[in-house]
Structure 1
Amino acid sequence: MTTSLHRPLTDTAWPDVVHVPAGPRAVAGARVAAAIFRHAVQRLPLQVVLPTGVRIGAGGPAAPALRVHDLPSMMRRLATSGLIGFGESYVAGEWEANDLAAVIAVFARAVDKLVPSPLQHLRRLLLAAHPSADRPTSAQSPGNVHRHYDLSNELFAAFLDETMTYSAALFDHPTDAVWGDLAPAQLRKMDRLLDQAGVGPGTRLLEIGTGWGALAARAADRGAFVESVTLSSEQLDHARRRIADAGLSDRVRVRLADYRELTGSFDAIVSVEMIEAVGLEFLPAYFDTLHRCLAPGGRIALQAITMPHHRAITTQRTYTWIHKYIFPGGAIPSTRMLRNQASAVGLTMVDDLAMGVSYAATLRLWADRFDEHRGDLATLGFDELFARTWQFYLRYCEGGFRAGYLDVHQVTYRREGDS
């Protein structure tokens, strides 16, 4: 068994969850936050049940319900940390929801209107900036990856399907998907990417972001020769064992490497939901690598999470709960950013499939599975606060895709001038 690298959430581990903000600023700000919160939810299709039993919100009896247990503490967190405080308040048990993803989806649909416009300009002054240590440089990216993907292979196995695929599946009928549909949908996703990249017998394939090795093995089964790179030592070990057990070691090489240091010429390149770890400032370097490593006549197939362009611009300097607790240094681009960066290096988009509804279904199945296996986390070294953190993370993302605030695309590129 792999030893968990995560410490229990204690006063010395994640103090901002354990301790409620104190001091004059927190107390005064809580009153302002409470007024903004009430003003926002009174216009939303929600039911918010306050500790006194009073209900606010524009939602009827069937609307998603948010029940507040500790209003003063929740408002202090919102006042001092914004949406980071909103997530920390959930983890601390200060509020609950009957359908957490649905509640998040309601907020996500109204995100541009939750805070009055005059106060939005104060956000940069009041909220924390990105830590410089999280900037996804070549020196610091391994540490960012380590903090998420190296938590424990057993942790991820507790909620992923047997393919150990940690990205959006592609369902035929996503809204009706059940657990047994997930693994076939993951294989469908992989096969479409490989088809778009033209991967077949003898193809020299570069995979940027190995995951746990499922796509590399799938490509090798087609007869391709695969070079796959990752920054996760846990994933490296698992992928190498998987490749060896499948008898594919002569066709797949998996190694630790940063995308910026890659060289060589490949007939095809695939990269699945790795671009989110690149950071917006390093998108030019990422696309330069894609162009540099693609042989004439080759194809690139990416799967990328995206958000609307105006939100990507507005939030590009925002330090979020996801940054702090889940994905340090990450950033979600817009489709316009992808198109502009590809064009800048001489790549032309030839296909684009939006599949956000499938990601909402994928996350719903993961979160349901995670909830079913929460009792197993203690044996891996994870405590209840960690479980609530990841429960919030999975449902938070599900809600974003349900609302259409987030999307995911499979995008195919070729070199300009190639037919």
Structure 2
Amino acid sequence: MTDTARPLPPRDDRLARAIALPFHRLLDRIDAGLAAGAIEADLPDGTHRRLGGRAAGPVAHVVIHRWRALVRLATGGSIGWYDGWEAGDWASPDPVPLFDLFMRNRRTLGSSARAGGPTRLLARIGHALRRNDPRGARRNIAAHYDLGNAFYAEWLDPSLTYSSALFESADDGLEAAQRRKLAAILERTGVQLGGTLLEIGSGWGSFAATASAAGANVHTITLSEEQKRHVDALALPNVRCTLTDYRHVLGTYDAVASIEMVEAVGQEFWPDYLNAIARMLRPGGRAAIQFISIDDAIFDAYASNVDFIQRYVFPGGMLIARDRFAALAERAGLDWRDEHRFGQDYARTLRLWRERFEAAVREGRLPAGFDARFVRLWRYYLMYCEGGFSGGGIDVHQVTLVRR
């Protein structure tokens, strides 16, 4: 044997290396796309890799138990990554930094974490069947919001406000921050004592209660039978709640409010939504809108795919491309004014919701019928969303639209 000769590795070792090689190449691509933050990964072949680490950012710790996790990621994107988590193909002591990293590096990662091939095509076909025409919208809303009022009551704040809170300081509690958000929306509407206000998307009545207490006459609309049942039970003065699609509302109002409802509209129907607001507002009337956006730079890739939330949590959902949406608003005769962004407040809101959700699970307070798989799905959903807002590629906005 010469000095440079090396013994051949055992045959099974060579096979293991051959199997691992394409997965390390995929990890190489992810490594190259991590401009900020890092992933510490323990791999099935017994190796450890640090991906990224070139600039400051979150550090995520991930254990890949089976190479199949990376197959799922490469073919199924965020849907496949969730499927792998549910199947035990990968694990993390805290997945939030990982989701943060994927979003924080959204532009440099490119298609590394997006579905491709037949998986993407099948997902797109399924999503297309969930379009938000009047019949589909009611079905999609029911799938998410009609899980039961008792379910949401166990982990939302007492007002059952299911949208981002607006925090003022580190000492703010969730309830105070939700009241501040509702007051900010009401102020944007400019509605006066005795004025008429349409709310598109009732939620569980917290904004209707806020507007009613200020002396407004409120018509609040929803497609969720569970939400309508709850709002009716509140018996709020000068509040009428109906099961009505926004496209079918008649009449004119002094003001309109819509808090995180437009994400259930879908890109195809953005013009219908904005034209409906313009039609229902008196000249000079104001609409206060709170909406969730995704970075315009990645919107086309997002819109041409189907993500984990659309597949498993909110059928028919679609985040907003802010610039395109604003242009459509202007085209509808609505001036875009006084925009405020507060995405990190949403990350904080989601963290507080998750803490309350975990406490409800621990204490056995969730209603009967929600099994362990459902609990894991919603745990993942809350972590996924928190990481998305923390990473900055998803944001939440309040804006005032004024009818010309």
TM-score between both structures, scaled by the size of structure 1: 0.84
CA distance 1:69–1:301, shift in 2 (3 Å):
same
Letter in 2 for 1:235: Q
Q: Does 1:146 align with 2:136?
A: no
Judge conservation of contact 2:31–2:52 (CA < 8 Å) in 1: no
1:83-105 CA-partner distances (Å, limit 9, x unpaired): 21001112223222222211110
Q: Does 1:230 align with 2:222?
A: yes
1:92-137 CA-partner distances (Å, limit 9, x unpaired): 23222222211110111112333568x98x9365513142321111
2:327 to 325, 328, 340: 340
CA distance in 2, matches of 1:32, 1:260: 51
CA distance 1:29–1:288, shift in 2 (3 Å):
farther
1:164 alignment partner, SS class: coil
Structure 1 position 355, deviation (Å): 1.0
CA distance 1:116–1:169, shift in 2 (3 Å):
closer
Structure 1 position 229, deviation (Å): 0.3
CA distance in 2, matches of 1:49, 1:229: 50
Per the alignment, residue 30 of structure 2 pairs with 40
Listed as ranges, the matches of 1:117-266 within 5 Å are: 123=116, 126-127=119-120, 128-131=123-126, 132-173=128-169, 176=170, 181-242=173-234, 244=235, 248-249=236-237, 251-266=238-253
Q: Does 1:388 align with 2:376?
A: yes
Letter in 2 for 1:392: Y
CA distance in 1, matches of 2:343, 2:217: 31
Structure 1 position 59, deviation (Å): 6.3
1:46 alignment partner, SS class: strand
Letter in 1 for 2:340: L
1:129 alignment partner, SS class: helix
1:306 alignment partner, SS class: strand
CA distance 1:170–1:116, shift in 2 (3 Å):
closer
2:258 to 249, 264, 271: 271
Structure 1 position 31, deviation (Å): 7.0
Q: Does 1:322 align with 2:309?
A: yes
1:267 alignment partner, SS class: strand
Q: Does 1:114 align with 2:101?
A: no
1:24-50 CA-partner distances (Å, limit 9, x unpaired): xxxx99975553135314755121122
Structure 1 position 361, deviation (Å): 0.7
Listed as ranges, the matches of 1:279-358 within 5 Å are: 279-358=266-345
CA distance 1:126–1:112, shift in 2 (3 Å):
farther
Structure 1 position 148, deviation (Å): 0.5
Letter in 1 for 2:79: I
CA distance in 1, matches of 2:229, 2:205: 10
1:100 to 95, 102, 109: 95
CA distance in 1, matches of 2:42, 2:171: 31
Judge conservation of contact 2:20–2:45 (CA < 8 Å) in 1: no
CA distance in 2, matches of 1:29, 1:208: 54
2:38 alignment partner, SS class: coil
Per the alignment, residue 15 of structure 2 pairs with none
Letter in 2 for 1:385: R
CA distance in 2, matches of 1:59, 1:256: 50
2:381 alignment partner, SS class: helix
Structure 1 position 70, deviation (Å): 2.5
Q: How many residues are paired up? A: 377
CA distance in 1, matches of 2:153, 2:27: 38
Judge conservation of contact 2:156–2:162 (CA < 8 Å) in 1: yes
Per the alignment, residue 67 of structure 2 pairs with 72
Judge conservation of contact 2:74–2:116 (CA < 8 Å) in 1: no
Q: Does 1:413 align with 2:401?
A: yes
Structure 1 position 368, deviation (Å): 1.6
Judge conservation of contact 2:151–2:367 (CA < 8 Å) in 1: no
CA RMSD of aligned residues (A): 2.4
CA distance in 2, matches of 1:64, 1:373: 29
Structure 1 position 358, deviation (Å): 0.9
CA distance in 2, matches of 1:326, 1:281: 20
Between structure 1 and structure 2, the one with the greater Rg is: 2
| Amino-acid identity (%) | 38
Per the alignment, residue 17 of structure 1 pairs with none
Judge conservation of contact 2:337–2:401 (CA < 8 Å) in 1: yes
CA distance in 2, matches of 1:234, 1:328: 18
Judge conservation of contact 1:342–1:348 (CA < 8 Å) in 2: yes
CA distance 1:222–1:370, shift in 2 (3 Å):
same
Letter in 1 for 2:398: Q
CA distance in 1, matches of 2:284, 2:185: 17
Letter in 2 for 1:205: L
Structure 1 position 383, deviation (Å): 1.4
Moved more, 298-307 or 33-42: 33-42
CA distance 1:387–1:101, shift in 2 (3 Å):
same
Structure 1 position 78, deviation (Å): 2.2
TM-score between both structures, scaled by the size of structure 2: 0.87
Judge conservation of contact 1:227–1:252 (CA < 8 Å) in 2: yes
Letter in 2 for 1:72: W
CA distance 1:377–1:59, shift in 2 (3 Å):
farther
Letter in 1 for 2:327: N
2:135 alignment partner, SS class: coil
CA distance in 2, matches of 1:206, 1:187: 19
CA distance in 2, matches of 1:186, 1:115: 35
Structure 1 position 161, deviation (Å): 0.8
